[in-house]
Chain A
Amino acid sequence: MADLAPYRAVLSSRIRSQLAYRRSFALDVAGSAGVGLLEFLSVYVIFTNVTELGGLDFAGVALVFAFANLGFSLADIVVGHVDALPTYLRSGTLDAFLLRPLSVLGQLVTSDVQLRRLGRCAVGVAILAVALPQAGIDWGWGAALLVVAIPLVGAVIFAAVFVAAAAAQFWLVDGAEFTNAFVYGGSNAASYPTSVFTTPLRAAVTFVLPAAFTAYLPTLLLLGEPGPAWTPAWLGWFAPVAAVVAWVVALTGWKAGLRHYTGTGS
């Protein structure tokens, strides 16, 4: 493990500067929480009309929503700013990174941290707190471990999606709209039971963009549901594998992107 002191030095200044203006920081956090609540409102509206969505009741869908939101916002706090890569490229900040004796991706990730996204995290935690006791979970050590692990593994998967999307920006000039479709589309798809999608789309958000691994599949394990055909619940145990694969793809893409930028390739 490399010495992290150099990264910590930048990050701690960054955190201090974000906390410097208390009131503005509080407003930012509240705004971020508001976005999470509004999104949850759409789930609530659906359940005023139906009693079941994709084989899950309101409490089950709320769990999927909360796990996906918590995982996504944790990833967003830590690496969300990597989608600003085109700005870094234009302003020469990436060149500055290349002139320092540190990893470029490490510098990019630690160049900022979005603490205001804690608001959305808080919404996820609150929904979990309300929905978990009502979901009819058979509690034991395994279930407790799942509750802690699901958002963390989800965050790791979403972080990989962020980095892969940033890597694509090395080729796509002003392609943020395009990659955002995957990042935020993935987050959105992860917030609902994947079983509502047709089989091809379900396969896509499971095996291509591993959104289903961040919340839906492991939630099925927690609830003891069997899951739909082709994407059964036991796949949920493979969420850590999905996270590793996602990072291998993301890092390979990042290395290739950086090589493209410095001109080794093509």
Chain B
Amino acid sequence: MTELIIDVVGLSRDFTVRAPAGRLRRTSRTVHAVRDLTFSVPEGAAVGYIGANGAGKSTTIKMLTGILVPTAGTARTCGKEPHRQRRELAREIGVVFGQRTQLWWDLPLHESFRALAAIHRLPSDRAARRQVELVDRLDLGEFLDTPVRQLSLGQRIRGEIAAALLHSPRLLVLDEPTIGLDVLSKERLRGFLVEERAAHGTSLLLTTHDMDDVQRLTERILVVDHGQMAFDGTLAGLVDRVGAQRVVVLDLLGGAHGVGAGAEVGGGAGGAGEAGVRAAGVPDLRGIPGTELVAVEADGLRQRLAFTPGLTTAAEVIAAVAARATVRDVAIEEPDIEDVVRRLYLSQ
């Protein structure tokens, strides 16, 4: 039988925001940051927690980790009541806020590790073994002696994650861990997290704006909107539900050839009334079956066509475009998380 690592029932949190109104009076307004959330996560699971900025993600995490007290409802993390059993819970969870450091700013990493080992009362042999493992797998060796404030963002995040995992927590909570990292650093971090979970069975709760994080690291996603649960299921299920579109980005050739191709098709529509940028000679990609023209850039030399997988394919779209214009380069953009979430919000 698997235990629930997170169990949340009717969780709500209000904030009172005061603003000056007139010279002396102040108005106060209640903001419902989180409203009536109910969900549970079994031990060992990896869950992506996503939503727009201000949707209530961080507030939820703070309630789950004991930083904030819920206004209503109950939360249990690792079977404990987070706020009331804050210190006991702290021994079983590791938390990283990507934008804020939990390390000591002016101490080198190895001193932070030493302090954390003392804080969590780890036996010294166990702490040493775990530290060697983390230093090796996160490749921290070359900057262990550098004060944290002098580390690059990627180095610091790796250090933060090692610090959060030093006491081998049952649950790892990552709030925007990959924000601001370059592609390579992101990929290495994801690789590490996958290995870490495989080796230790650590449960994972992750908030992110990055679709690849969700794809690589989680098997289930929760979407919040204005503090309420908007979706609970798999990523594939979410994409299906909102019919997320992919976008073909086409770089077209201008000049004589392009003009000819454009004139051919645009002849019918090229009458008066078109916007100024639609000068003669710009290839017109409107009306290709199953697609929608979403953007025209660089005087028509770069255009974006959105299409819904299932209605047409990327190959068909490209073939249809090639019939109208000379294609210099093609790129396909996957639906990004903001877009998927926005569509989900709109479909509510």
Q: Which A residues lie at the B interface, using CB under 8 A?
A: 3, 5-6, 8-10, 13-14, 17, 91-92, 95-96, 98-102, 111, 262-264, 266
- A residues near B16, Cβ cutoff 8 Å: 266
Judged by a CB distance under 8 angstroms, whether B137 is at the interface is no
Interface contact tally, CB-CB below 8 A: 69
12 A/B residue pairs, CB under 8 Å, sorted by A: A3-B121, A6-B115, A9-B119, A10-B115, A95-B62, A95-B67, A98-B86, A99-B102, A100-B90, A100-B119, A102-B119, A263-B71
Cβ–Cβ contact A101 & B115, under 8 A: no
Instruction: Report the bound CA distance from A171 to B75 in whole Å.
Output: 27
Q: Is the interface of A mostly helix, strand, loop or mixed?
A: helix
Which B residues are within 8 Å of any A CB, using their own CB? 13, 16, 62, 65-69, 71, 83, 86-88, 90-91, 93, 95, 97, 100-102, 104, 106-107, 111, 114-115, 117-121
Q: Output the least CB separation between A19 and chain B (Å).
A: 13
**Contact yes or no, A9 B100, CB < 8 A:** no
Q: How far is the CA of A92 from the CA of B104 in the complex (A)?
A: 12
Contact B118 A5 (CB under 8 A): yes
**A-chain residues with CB within 8 Å of residue B115 when the two chains form the complex:** 6, 9-10, 13
Question: Shortest distance in angstroms between A124's beta carbon and chain B's nearest beta carbon?
Answer: 29
CB within 8 Å for A99 and B69 given contacts A6-B121, A10-B115 = no
Tell me if B65 and A13 are in contact (CB < 8 A). Answer: no
When A and B form their complex, which 10 residue pairs have the shortest distance between CB atoms, in order from nearest? Answer: A92-B100, A9-B118, A101-B90, A96-B102, A6-B119, A9-B115, A101-B87, A13-B111, A6-B118, A263-B69
CB <8 Å contact, A263 and B13: yes
State whether A91 touches B100 (Cβ < 8 A).
yes
Known: A101-B88, A263-B71. 20 other contacts (CB 8 A): A9-B118, A13-B107, A13-B115, A14-B107, A91-B100, A91-B101, A92-B100, A95-B62, A95-B100, A96-B101, A98-B67, A99-B66, A99-B95, A99-B102, A100-B90, A101-B87, A101-B120, A262-B67, A262-B69, A263-B69
Pair B119/A263 contact, Cβ less than 8 Å? no
